[in-house]
Amino acid sequence: MNERLRRFLFPSITPAFLIRVVLVAVCAYVFFGFVCTPFVVRGRSMVPTYHDGAFDFLWKPRFLFSGPERGDVVAISLAGDSVVYLKRVVALGGDTVSFKEGVLYVDGKAVDEPYVRGPCHWNLRPRKVEPGRVYVVGDNRSMPMEQHDFGQVSVRRIVGSPVW
Amino acid sequence: MVTWKRLGAFLAVILAAWAIYYFFPSRTRQVKRRFKAISEWVDKTGPEGNLAMAREASEAADFFAPQCTWDAQSYDLNGSFTPRDAARYYFAGRERFSSLSLKFYDVGVGFPEKYKADVTATARITGTTREGEKVSETHEVQCSLRKTDGTWRLTHVTVVQVLQR
């Protein structure tokens, strides 16, 4: 084994080495604990974009300086951010949302949603999104509307978006 | 010899700290333990006999105050319920599911009064019905508990509607 490889695999435990290890550990803890946290998707409400069991990272600074836009996939916190809802923003504050035979209408205009696959027959009477809130829906519209969690939510509950 | 004595003293201190932590929990830990106990109470991993179910259902009085108010619009559960009502729901729920799990996350505890606790948590229920249908629901819950006879019991439960249609 050449000397450099040996030193890399079996480094001498020196104070400098220990400082490096601690620094890397602290940076990793901060980065993966508070900035870019790993998560696993549970449930089918975002199929086919995100499947049950998929692994991803939540990028928390995503909406630090700008609010979410229509079409963004966002993570919505509940009591904390250990468990979050993953949904797509379809309308912003002040918009009027409705569904007619599975087609999403925002302010009376049909919205093209290429991320939605499969049959959808949802019907929902028009409702106005309050200021400071956004309207979020999952991509899986094949499931019955009654079993799908969707609706308007405060922008303050949005804690980031998936990296991919 | 001195080294062994120091090591022994160090271990004794660790053991004492652990004993204090375990046997004299803070109020926050006492409340969190109640939520863990509720999780264990609800968990069902396989078939259960009616007798076992009835025995477990009778433990409802350990978790719920004589009058516990519920505000859970998504489940049509509104009003005041006794532990007996809770036991009835518990029994009916377990009859419907072949497996059931309730987990609490992000449990935050506050104490507005000495014997009153306000808790916010994320509750995640997963299970499989007897027909094989998988169920998975996640909700934010806000609960109030009161300590009576040395036990923290639920006096109020609200299921927060995070997403409003």
| pLDDT tens for each residue of A77-127 | 999 999 999 999 999 999 999 999 999 999 999 999 999 988 899 999 999
Of all residues in chain A, the one with the smallest CA distance to B162 is A153
Say yes or no: A78 contacts chain B, CB-CB below 8 A.
yes
- Across the interface, whether the CB atoms of A157 and B139 are under 8 A apart is answered no
Q: How far apart are CA B35 and CA B143, in angstroms?
A: 11
- pLDDT at position A149 is 92
Give the model confidence (pLDDT) of B62-71 as tens digits: 899 999 999 9
pLDDT class for B101, splitting at 50, 70, 90? very high
B151-160 and B134-148 beta bridge pairing: antiparallel
- pLDDT at position B5 is 86
Q: In whole numbers, what is the pLDDT of chain B averaged over residues? A: 91
Say yes or no: B124 contacts chain A, CB-CB below 8 A.
yes
- pLDDT of B2 > 70? The answer is no
- pLDDT of B1 > 80? The answer is no
- pLDDT of A140 > 80? The answer is yes
Q: What SS3 class is residue A29?
A: helix
Q: How far apart are CA B144 and CA A78, in angstroms?
A: 18
- Phi, psi (5° rounding) for residue A106? -120, 120
Residue with the larger pLDDT of the pair A118 and A28: A28
Tokens of A77: 């916190």
Q: What is the percent of chain B where pLDDT is above 70? A: 99
Say yes or no: B1 contacts chain A, CB-CB below 8 A.
no
In 3D space, the residue among B8, B147, B7, B157 whose CA is nearest the CA of residue B80 turns out to be B157
Chain B residues with CB inside 8 Å of A75's CB? none
- pLDDT at position A57 is 97
| Burial class (CB within 10 angstroms; exposed 0-12, middle 13-18, buried 19+) of A85 | buried
The b/e string for A41-58 (b: 16+ C-beta within 10 A; e otherwise) is bebbbbbebbeeebebeb
- pLDDT of A1 > 70? The answer is no
Give the model confidence (pLDDT) of B151-162 as tens digits: 999 999 999 999
Mean pLDDT to the nearest integer, B135-144: 94
Say yes or no: B158 contacts chain A, CB-CB below 8 A.
no
Quote the minimal CA–CA distance from A102 to chain B in Å.
16
